[in-house]
Amino acid sequence: MKKIILPTDFSDNAYNAVRYAAKLFKDIETTFYLLNTYTPAVYQSEYILHSPAQIGLGDIYQENSLENLQQVKEKIEDEFENPMHTYMLHSAFNILLDEVLETIENENADLVIMGTQGATGAKEILFGTHTVHVIKKATCPVMAIPSGFEYEPIREILFPTDYEVDFKKQQLQQLLDIAEINGGSIEVIHASTGYELTEDQMRNQKKLESIFSKVAHRSHDLPSQGVIEAINSFQLNKPVDLLAMVQNKHTFFERLFIEPIIKKIGFHVTIPFMVIPHR
């Protein structure tokens, strides 16, 4: 059984990610944790000190949070009516990132699926702040679903790598499961810089090949280009349904999602994106 955390701020984009998760795992017994956090606007020193004027405000925020979570639960259950899916409500007075991390640990969650922008997300911002923080800190894989993205079965998975990671099967298990569920193929691309692979890189390459041996996969070496250019050029020639990568100690994740660089190179994630922690 899968355990999946679905953070929501009750925006359309957040609900779109919930719908995506319900469709992706439609044939899998899954417990979904609909998670919302709230921090009252009056969360200042007087709130902490329980000023008489503020007593009870936390309860009001929690009640609103739980009511909205219940509405999301009823809406998704009415839309799909899937007996294999269970939705748990999780409301907390906390920062979203901290609560997601705690819930991952407490529930031994397999995956976090969330939208890329919140209720006030401007369209010109690639990823919302909350999404970036969760991706960078989460101890399980995170899937970010672009705003307005309509679910499509995951047939082609693009997996860029520099082979600097000492891959482990457990680390990649959720990606393997998604590929197996959909009968998808994993396209491994290595954007080489003209140098030969080191011994460590060759060892990691063989380990990755072994891990992917049970699913359809192909390896591609794309010389003389950076990883971002390689991703772009690959997608021009072949439609991709999911972009997945491991975040390592010198990951190119930072290079992908720093806004000025994004604007310069014109790279935009228009498909679901999975980041796998290097742990």
Q: Tell me, yes or no, whether 137 and 248 share the same domain.
A: no
Q: Tell me, yes or no, whether 78 and 140 share the same domain.
A: yes
pTM comes to 0.86
Q: Tell me, yes or no, whether 137 and 261 share the same domain.
A: no
Q: What is the largest CA-CA distance in the chain?
A: 69
Instruction: Tell me which of 141-145, 200-204, 209-213, 246-250 is least confident.
Output: 246-250
Give the whole-angstrom CA distance, residue 21 versus residue 11.
16
Q: What pLDDT is recorded for position 21? A: 98
Q: Which has more confidence, 39 or 242?
A: 242
Check pLDDT > 50 for residue 262: no
4-29 mean pLDDT:
96
Q: What pLDDT is recorded for position 205? A: 94
Give the whole-angstrom CA distance, residue 109 versus residue 96.
16
Q: What pLDDT is recorded for position 84? A: 97
141-163 mean pLDDT:
91
Q: What percent of the chain has pLDDT over 70?
A: 80
Give the whole-angstrom CA distance, residue 109 versus residue 139.
9
Q: What is the CATH number of the domain that holds 182?
A: 3.40.50.620
Check pLDDT > 60 for residue 24: yes
Q: Is residue 150 part of a domain?
A: no
Q: Tell me, yes or no, whether 182 and 88 share the same domain.
A: no
Q: Is residue 139 part of a domain?
A: yes
Give the full edge-to-edge strand order of the sheet including 216-223.
85-92, 30-37, 2-7, 111-115, 142-145, 273-277, 242-247, 156-160, 185-192, 216-223
Question: Which band of pLDDT confidence, cut at 50, 70 and 90, is reported for residue 274?
Answer: very high
- Of 123, 145, 167, the domain-final residue: 145
91-120 mean pLDDT:
89
Instruction: Tell me which of 62-66, 78-82, 191-195, 234-238 is least confident.
Output: 191-195
Q: Which has more confidence, 254 or 118?
A: 254
Q: What pLDDT is recorded for position 267? A: 43
Q: What pLDDT is recorded for position 177? A: 96
Q: What pLDDT is recorded for position 108? A: 97
Q: What pLDDT is recorded for position 236? A: 79
Q: What is the pLDDT of residues 46-61, one digit of tens each?
A: 445 555 445 555 578 8
DSSP string, 9-64: -S-HHHHHHHHHHHHHTTTS-EEEEEEEE---TT-SHHHHTT-TTTTTHHHHHHHH
78-95 mean pLDDT:
95
Question: Which band of pLDDT confidence, cut at 50, 70 and 90, is reported for residue 270?
Answer: confident
Bridge partners of 187, per DSSP, are 158, 218
Instruction: Tell me which of 68-72, 115-119, 156-160 is least confident.
Output: 115-119
Q: Is residue 45 part of a domain?
A: yes
Q: What pLDDT is recorded for position 126? A: 46
Q: What does DSSP say about strands 273-277 and 142-145: parallel, antiparallel, or unpaired?
A: antiparallel
Q: Tell me, yes or no, whether 176 and 127 share the same domain.
A: no
The token pair at 26 is 């439609």
Average per-residue pLDDT for the chain: 83
Give the whole-angstrom CA distance, residue 251 versus residue 233.
20
Structural domains in the chain (count): 2
Range(s) of the domain holding residue 211? 156-277
254-267 mean pLDDT:
46
Residues of the chain by 3-state class (helix, strand, coil), percent to 5: 40, 25, 35
Q: Is residue 261 part of a domain?
A: yes
Q: What is the pLDDT of residues 168-185, one digit of tens each?
A: 999 999 999 999 999 999
Q: Tell me, yes or no, whether 72 and 116 share the same domain.
A: yes
